[in-house]
Amino acid sequence: MRPIQARISLGALAHNLRVARDHAGAARVFAVVKANAYGHGLSRARRALAAADGFAVLTLEEAANLRLMGVQQPILLLEGLFGADEVATCAELGLWPVLHHVAQLDWLQRLPPARPLQVFLKFDSGMHRLGFPLADHAAIVARVRSLPGVAGVTLMTHFAQADEAAGVDWQLQPFLSEVADHGLPWSSANSAALLRYPITQGDWVRPGLMLYGASPFAEVPASQLGLRPAMSVHSEIISVQTVQPGEGVGYGQLYRAEQAMRVGVVACGYADGYPRNAPTGTPILVNGRRSRTLGRVSMDMLSVDLSECPDAGVGTPVELWGEGLSVDSVAAAAHTSSYELLCALAARVAVQETD
């Protein structure tokens, strides 16, 4: 069997949810489990995060699967309805759709569900992605509250720079000042806002990345935030090459040795979810010792420097990221985000659950 394997810690997921709860204060917590729970597996996340007040997903299919798994808590559809035909399904499954454009309101008005829906009404406070213009809030809120298919309304926005120095005030204050008069519950906090800005708690918070043990902040490691990595990816060295000065390694010969050196070949590549653009120097652990990748990542393999690992050979364990090496540090070296690395874990990688 090919040695690459991912280990998913249910205990770490549950721990990270407790951290989110500690920061949420009196607010209720939607555990964001879209994209197959950021690559960790929807079923695993559902079990490990069972103490959440609700779950947030992207599609009806994800929501339906959660209901089949026995989830009774509210399920939020983060992009809402994609067509009029989904109104009845939302009612049947008891889902809470996010409404962010006029067509969705038209569908609810034209095809009112037999079972009125709890809805989240999203306003664009400056991210300019999804949401009604804040300037139109009075008319939009009035229309939605008048719909017979709506049982209750929560107001919502999303931050563009909660993880950066710009922060949230430039979006949060206009949002709160515009919608405060409606006397409705509200939701704004993602992981970064929840961890850094208590003022964003509102009535519901929506942590995602932090639940999986990664940091939303480039300058703050997850361990400093009290988070534990839920995913560890491991493999082994399957070949060792001796490279002479001036000789290259891998496709394109992007790395050339300056002196004679041993190079390990690891059974992991971009088809497993490792970033193809990870350059020479991306950190990697060889039998617990920090080393670096060399040259271009291949589809099924990558190369690693064994200069400081004299005892390493075929069968030596390697950690790509996890408990000993944060996914954030690998993502930073590869000029990508931990979101992408976690979500990109390929289906061909065997997964083992741990407590």
Q: What is the CATH number of the domain that holds 205?
A: 3.20.20.10
How confident is the model over 260-317, as pLDDT tens digits? 999 999 999 999 999 999 999 999 999 999 999 999 999 999 999 999 999 999 999 9
Residue 350 resides in a domain: yes
Residue 280 resides in a domain: yes
DSSP per residue over 212-270, as a string?
Answer: GT--S-TTS-GGGGT----EEEEEEEEEEEEE-TT-EESGGG-EE-SS-EEEEEES--G
> Both 168 and 242 in a single domain?
no
pLDDT of residue 35: 97
> Both 239 and 200 in a single domain?
no
Here the CATH number for the domain that contains residue 278 is 2.40.37.10
Tell which of 221, 240, 271 closes a domain.
Answer: 221
pLDDT of residue 198: 97
> Both 203 and 257 in a single domain?
no
pLDDT of residue 37: 98
Residue 265 resides in a domain: yes
> Both 145 and 250 in a single domain?
no
Which pTM value belongs to this model?
Answer: 0.96
Tell which of 162, 186, 221 closes a domain.
Answer: 221
Mean pLDDT, residues 192-217: 98
pLDDT of residue 254: 95
How confident is the model over 133-190, as pLDDT tens digits? 999 999 999 999 999 999 999 999 999 999 999 999 999 999 999 998 999 999 999 9
How confident is the model over 49-92, as pLDDT tens digits? 999 999 999 999 999 999 999 999 999 999 999 999 999 999 99
Q: Is 242 exposed, middle or buried (0-12, 13-18, 19+ CB in 10 A)?
A: exposed
pLDDT of residue 21: 98
> Both 210 and 190 in a single domain?
yes
> Both 65 and 213 in a single domain?
yes
> Both 182 and 50 in a single domain?
yes
Q: 21: closest CA among 215, 266, 204?
A: 204
Residue 100 resides in a domain: yes
Residue 2 resides in a domain: no
Q: Which residues form the domain of 337?
A: 231-354
pLDDT of residue 219: 94
How confident is the model over 88-105, as pLDDT tens digits? 999 999 999 999 999 999
Overall domain count for the chain: 2
The Cα 159–Cα 206 span in angstroms is 11
> Both 248 and 212 in a single domain?
no
Backbone angles phi, psi at 339, to 5 degrees: -55, -50
> Both 138 and 205 in a single domain?
yes
Give Cβ neighbours of residue 325 (< 8 Å, ≥ 6 apart): 283, 284, 285, 290, 319
> Both 214 and 84 in a single domain?
yes
Tell which of 154, 189, 221 closes a domain.
Answer: 221
Mind telling me the catalytic residues? 34, 251
Residue 3 resides in a domain: no
> Both 95 and 214 in a single domain?
yes
Residue 226 resides in a domain: no
pLDDT of residue 312: 97
> Both 190 and 268 in a single domain?
no
Residue 1 resides in a domain: no
